[in-house]
Structure 1
């Protein structure tokens, strides 16, 4: 690869890193062609972009980026693949599901909305992170709950009040 080609790859990687807040770094070495194809298919279905990258080029792209990747450049050893997604927990769920049949991919680290996670032991934590949409849904549910209680009380209380008024008006008459 010429110096110009490397420069172009670094620029491209830097642009892709800048365009997302969710990056997983994994090791998929040792997977045979069929398993790799199945992993790529699972990523595609989950809207996760999977790409094998050179460590030095990814490291330089991270340095060029405005994001702070913390210790992530230090884990760029051996075979490296990046998984880029729109939702923070989706790549972790893909890895977790895929590992039911295989011991790979191994999670090296992740960058999610400025938070850095290092090590395969973080997989459970990452898979349980709620997406923005899930958090908004939880908030809406919480906010709707008191309103539903008030409406319910008014409906049931309204019948009692109407009954009391009717009974009182009948007594007076």
Structure 2
């Protein structure tokens, strides 16, 4: 690869890193062709972009990016794949699900909305991160609950009140 080609690859990776707020680094080495294909298919279905990158080029792209990747460049050893997503916990859930059948991929680190996670032991923490849609759903549920209580109280009160009025009118 010539210097110019490397520069173009670094620029392309830098653009991807700049555009995404959810970046996972994983080790998928050791997966056979079928498992790798299944992983790529699962990533596609989950709207996760998966690419194998050279560590030196990724490190240079991280340095060139305007984001602070903290300790993440230190995990760039051995085989590294980059997973890009719009949902903070989607790659973690995919990795956890995939590891039910295999011991790979291993999580090297992640950058999620300016937070840095380093090491495979952070997988459970990343799985438990709520997506924007999940948080909005919880807020809507919380806001609907009091309104539903008021409406049901008014509805049940209305039937009681009409029953009382009917009983009183029958007595006369």
- Asked if Structure 1 and Structure 2 have the same fold, meaning a TM-score greater than 0.5 normalized by the shorter chain, the answer is yes
SS of equivalent to 1:100? coil
2:152 is matched with 152
Deviation of 1:154 (Å): 0.4
Asked whether 1:46 is paired with 2:62, we answer no
2:10 is matched with 10
Asked whether 1:94 is paired with 2:94, we answer yes
Which ranges of structure 2 fall in alignment gaps of 5 or more residues?
none
Q: How does 1:11-90 map to 2 (within 5 A)?
A: 11-90=11-90
SS of equivalent to 2:66? coil
Q: Distance in 2 between matches of 1:167 and 1:97?
A: 62
Deviation of 1:126 (Å): 0.9
Q: Deviations over 1:54-73 (max 9, x none)?
A: 11111111111111111111
Matched residue count:
172
Q: Distance in 1 between matches of 2:92 and 2:163?
A: 58
Deviation of 1:48 (Å): 0.8
Which ranges of structure 1 fall in alignment gaps of 5 or more residues?
none
Q: Distance in 1 between matches of 2:38 and 2:156?
A: 56
Q: Distance in 2 between matches of 1:170 and 1:106?
A: 77
SS of equivalent to 1:82? strand
SS of equivalent to 2:67? coil
TM-score by length of 2: 0.94
Q: Distance in 2 between matches of 1:160 and 1:104?
A: 62
Deviation of 1:168 (Å): 5.0
Q: Deviations over 1:55-104 (max 9, x none)?
A: 11111111111111111111111111000111111111111111111111
SS of equivalent to 1:78? coil
Deviation of 1:43 (Å): 0.9
1:117 is matched with 117
1:140 is matched with 140
Deviation of 1:164 (Å): 3.5
SS of equivalent to 2:29? coil
SS of equivalent to 1:68? coil
